[in-house]
Amino acid sequence: MNIKEYIRPSSLDEAYESLTKKEGAVVIGGGGYLRLGAKDIEVAVDISNIHLSFVNERKDLIEIGAMTTLREVEVNSAIKQSFNGILCEAVKPILGVQMRNIFTIGGSVYGRYGFSDVITALLALDTYVELYKGGRMTIEDFLNKKDNEKDILTKIVILKNRKGSFQSIRSTSTDFAMLNAAVSKHENNFKIAVGARPGIAKLSNKAMEYLNAAELNEENAVKAGEIAADSLEFGSNTRGSAKYRKEVCKALVKRGVLEVI
């Protein structure tokens, strides 16, 4: 990776100004994914000097700064004790500790990677994404956003109301997930997200509606898995065929629902 100009601003104002005014400027989070290719980067805006690495626990929510590493997400006691530990479970299988010490939650969300375990878990929680210019929005709206306007993700805000379960299946440990799923519950309201389809994680609204009105038992957990598998689209790649992913979806959603109830 060749970087022509490297900037390390000390304020968000300065970072945003460089990002939007300089042609070809990109934000560097952990730089873990960016450096995979032999890219030429015109201007690298390194945001590691802006104090965006933090975890703040409030009464009803947890705020995670964009530069917080996935390792910190994994071991932070407030995050571990919230949502049934779903976020810790989601990041644990990602490569090794050394890489999780580099990857950031901001880069993981902003990258909108189809294989992401992080996005699947966050989508099943009541999660908000805060952008410097674009302000606060639900993670679902962020993922569906069509404009390509440059912005800086500053933090993730998660309400502490839900209990969750994260499930994934991998051919070998540390590989990308062949499929992942996250289920959460708050009172009688379920959220079911399925990712690595291999497209980006999506909620199965049909399975959620079914479960919200159903008696909570194993039979209905199985049914929710079947509805999720029928209502979402799956594709094929080297990690699995669409047909296989659809079958695995039934099992992962069922397991998630059973764990949560």
Binding residues vs ligand FAD (CB under 6 A)? 26-34, 36, 47, 66, 70, 94-95, 103-104, 106-108, 110-111, 115-118, 152-153, 176
Is the distance from CB of 184 to CB of 162 less than 8 angstroms?
A: yes
Comparing CA positions, the residue from 22, 26, 71 lying closest to residue 47 is 26
Q: How far is the CB of 16 from ligand FAD (least distance, A)?
A: 10
Please identify, using beta-carbon distances, which residue of 94 and 193 lies nearer to ligand FAD: 94
Q: Is 65 helix (H, G, I), strand (E, B) or coil?
A: strand
Please identify, using beta-carbon distances, which residue of 74 and 117 lies nearer to ligand FAD: 117
Q: How far is the CB of 32 from ligand FAD (least distance, A)?
A: 3
Is the distance from CB of 9 to CB of 47 less than 8 angstroms?
A: yes
Q: What are the Cα distances from residue 206, in Å, to 86, 142, 187, 189, 214?
A: 22, 21, 18, 13, 12
Beta-bridge partner residues of 61: 159
Is the distance from CB of 204 to CB of 221 less than 8 angstroms?
A: no
Is omega for the bond preceding 198 within 30 degrees of 0, making it cis?
Answer: yes
Q: How far is the CB of 214 from ligand FAD (least distance, A)?
A: 30
Please identify, using beta-carbon distances, which residue of 100 and 250 lies nearer to ligand FAD: 100
User: What H or E segment, with its residue span, contains residue 195?
Assistant: strand 189-195
Please identify, using beta-carbon distances, which residue of 223 and 239 lies nearer to ligand FAD: 239
Strands 55-57 and 127-131 turn out to be unpaired
Q: How far is the CB of 40 from ligand FAD (least distance, A)?
A: 14
Is the distance from CB of 153 to CB of 105 less than 8 angstroms?
A: no
Q: How far is the CB of 73 from ligand FAD (least distance, A)?
A: 10
Comparing CA positions, the residue from 244, 222, 226 lying closest to residue 234 is 244
Q: How far is the CB of 86 from ligand FAD (least distance, A)?
A: 13
Please identify, using beta-carbon distances, which residue of 88 and 153 lies nearer to ligand FAD: 153
Q: Which residue is nearest to ligand FAD (CB)?
A: 107
Please identify, using beta-carbon distances, which residue of 200 and 222 lies nearer to ligand FAD: 200
What's at 71, amino acid-wise? R
Q: How far is the CB of 51 from ligand FAD (least distance, A)?
A: 13
Q: Give the whole-angstrom CA distance, residue 204 versus residue 140.
A: 12
Please identify, using beta-carbon distances, which residue of 44 and 224 lies nearer to ligand FAD: 44
